[in-house]
Structure 1
Amino acid sequence: MSHVRKGMKKTILAAALTGLLLLAGCSASDESGAPTAGAAKPGNAADMDRDTAALGEQNKAGSDGAVAPEGVGATGGPVTGRSLIYRGELTVRVDDVPAAADRLTGLVNTAGGHIGAEKRVVDPTESQASITVRVPAKQFHGVLEQIAKLGEEVSRGSNTEDVTEAVVDLDTRIAAQRASVESVRRMFTQAKQLSEVVLLERELNQRQAELASLERKKASLDDLVALSTISVSLIGPHTPLPEPEKEPAPGFLGGLEAGWDAFVGTVQVALAVLGFLLPFLIALAIPVALVIALRRRRRPALAAPAPTAPPAPPAAD
């Protein structure tokens, strides 16, 4: 009987422990699910409403066509952390081209830039100047507006190129290449055999050349990012505007026009080649004509028949 009672006690204890474990598991599952249920708290819902409203305002602004200008963020501040290249083209008609070009030079110098290239044509009827200016990126839009005020704006164009990924890639490659060069230098100092010295020296020169090439690309890219480029055309009051390029017509007419242009171009090239060769042909034709004339004069003398003896008189009977 004692053994039976001990077995019953063990069974009851095991059942009690099992129940306690089940209750603990249920309570843990309830606690773990509490945060999920709490995601819909009033404070969190308010935050979500505010985010949704803000997103709606942004979408509304975008649908109304309000686009942030180049180099300016959606909030009106400048774009930071990006590498942007600004390029612009501007044609302005002015009364006095030389005076306007001088004013443009002073304006660019005041903005902290410089003249990259300049070409002036001073003519009473068709005076014009083509000037390429480099200005700091922060002054790009302001300088563009000031140049337009030099006279009557005829045409304008601008574009922005984001080269952030290219800059980051070059920085990474330059850092890796510098580490590689330093590694080869350490190996070079530790080399003992002549063959190792020659091999490491060639490898070091090659890696240094690659590093210099990467650094030149990075410097060129940094220059384009730091200084924006504006191509300015100043034209006089009587200078005609260049005709825009005519787009080819579609379909059969476009093919016919392209074929005619190709034919005219081929004829012009052939005439140009003929004009180039004509002096040489004339110079060769003169001695050839003389040789032919001399041959014709000699041919009758050579072909003349020899004189024949007169026939003998008939014998008398």
Structure 2
Amino acid sequence: MRARHRPAAALLVASLALAGCGASDDESASTAERSVVGGGSKADAPGAAADAAAGAAGPKAGGPGDGGGRRLPATHVIRTAELAVEVGDAARALAGVRTAVEGAGGHVADESTERVDGDRVESTVVLRVPQDRYASVLARLSGSGKLLSRKADAKDVTDQVVDVESRVATQRASVARVRALMDRATKLSDVVTLEGELSRRQAELESLLARQASLEDRTAMATITLRLSEPEKRERPGEEGAPGFLDALSGGWDALASTARWAAAVVAAVFPFGAALALPYAVWRWLVRPMRARRTARDSGTSSAQGPGQD
């Protein structure tokens, strides 16, 4: 009989031990809350009570720490890609890209267009598309022209998403517990201390929520950076051969006009020197030379008249 009752006695002792542990934990949590609301002497009692309450409320059903019925989290991936495509008309290709992205449920996040070398256009656009349409949109953009370069990246951030979700849930429970303690606080010092603790935990919660929103946006929408460029225009080798009739006529006319301009420039440059030499020549030609001629003639007449008389 004693052997039969031993397993039952052992089970009874274990049940009493577990019940005693649970009662002691609940008593410690309630004691911490009473110390804050009833005017405990320690300054850090509100934070300790809130932490103890959050820890007591710790892993509930469905939380990351719940061992029963635990399901694996969904995979969260951040996808990015960079493309460089050469097209004949960048403006028309950009319009087609915008239509394709909007049709896939995405949008253009950023766009910049510039003219290069005076005759070519280059455009760079940042596209946001849903994850389930990422592959099809990327394939369509790659085939929109001559593919120059392509780079794709996928980063698994499942651990970060799960961690942030868990911390957000814990922080919300902590904020709720501090608010509950404020509702039961009777002393002004406790209210002031609890308000400071609530402000600190609320700020931490808002920071976690902002990080969670950023992760949700980057994992829900993929980012594609696309650069569209037009090819450089090159002259054909045959175009540099012998000129045609009109080219020759135009070249001859340009040469004649250039020669006439140079001749006019030479005449204009020599004219001052010619004018300076023409004045002395005119004086010599019309004044000095006639006078010398008359003098010579008079001298010759005088000598011929004196000759026969002397003989």
Structure 1 distance, partners of 2:93, 2:196, is: 56
Q: Which residue of 1 aligns with 2:164?
A: 170
Q: Over residues 137-161 of structure 1, what are the superposed CA-to-partner deviations in whole Å (9 max), with x where a residue is unaligned? A: 1111110111112211110010100
Amino acid at match of 2:103: T
Q: Which runs of 4+ in 1 moved over 4 A?
A: none
1:227 to partner: Cα distance: 0.1
Shift of 1:194: 1.0
Partner letter of residue 164 of structure 1? T
| Secondary structure at the counterpart of residue 231 of structure 2 | coil
Match of 2:77 in 1: 84
Q: Of 86, 94, 97, which residue of structure 2 is paired with 1:104?
A: 97
Structure number with the bigger relative contact order (C-alpha 8 A, sep ≥ 6) is 2
Q: What is the SS of the residue equivalent to 1:95?
A: coil
- Quote the residue 1:207 is aligned against: 201
Name the amino acid aligned to 1:233.
R
Mapping of residues 143-158 of structure 1, within 5 Å: 143-158=137-152
* Residues 241-294 of structure 1 deviation map (CA, whole Å, 9 limit, x = unaligned): xxxxxxxxxxxxxxxxxxxxxxxxxxxxxxxxxxxxxxxxxxxxxxxxxxxxxx
Which residue is equivalent to 2:155?
161
Aligned pair 1:220/2:214, yes or no? Answer: yes
How many Å separate the matches in 2 of 1:98 and 1:105?
11
Q: Which structure 2 residues correspond to residues 20-169 of structure 1 after superposition, within 5 A?
A: 81-123=74-116, 124-169=118-163
Structure 1 length-normalised TM? 0.49
AA of the residue aligned to 2:153: N
Q: 2:224 corresponds to which residue?
A: 230
Correspondences of 1:305-316 after superposition (within 5 Å): none
After superposition, the CA RMSD in angstroms is: 1.6
| Cα distance in 1 between the residues matched to 2:133 and 2:92 | 23
State the AA in 2 paired with 1:135: V
* 2:109 counterpart letter in structure 1: G
Which 5+ residue runs of structure 1 have no aligned equivalent?
1-79, 240-317
Could you list the per-position Cα deviations for residues 194-252 of structure 1 after superposition, in whole angstroms to 9, with x for gaps in the alignment? 1111111111011011001001001000100000000000011129xxxxxxxxxxxxx
Aligned partner of residue 105 in structure 2, secondary structure: coil
Quote how far apart the aligned CAs of 1:130 are.
0.6
Aligned partner of residue 127 in structure 1, secondary structure: strand
Aligned equivalents of 1:95, 1:237: Cα separation in 2: 7
Q: How far did residue 173 of structure 1 move?
A: 0.4
- Provide the aligned length of Structure 1 versus Structure 2: 161
Instruction: Give the C-alpha shift of residue 99 in structure 1.
Output: 1.1
1:150 match: secondary structure: coil
* CA distance in 2 between partners of 1:151 and 1:222 (Å): 33
1:249 maps to none
For 2:75, what is the secondary structure of its paired residue?
A: coil
Shift of 1:193: 1.0
Instruction: Give the structure 2 partner of residue 263 of structure 1.
Output: none
The AA in structure 2 aligned to 1:142 is S
Which SS does the other structure have where 1:85 is aligned?
strand
Deviation at 1:122, TM superposition (A): 3.5
CA distance in 1, matches of 2:182, 2:112: 53
Which whole-Å CA distance do the structure 2 matches of 1:189 and 1:92 have between them?
Answer: 63
Larger radius of gyration: 2
Alignment of 1:12-27 (within 5 A): none
Percent of aligned positions that are identical: 38
Separation of aligned partners in 2, 1:202 and 1:118: 45
Q: Specify the code of the residue in structure 1 equivalent to 2:98.
A: T
The separation in 2 between residues aligned to 1:101 and 1:225, in whole angstroms, is: 25
TM-score under structure 2 normalisation?
0.50
Which one-letter code corresponds to 1:88 in the other structure?
A
Matched, 1:179 2:173: yes
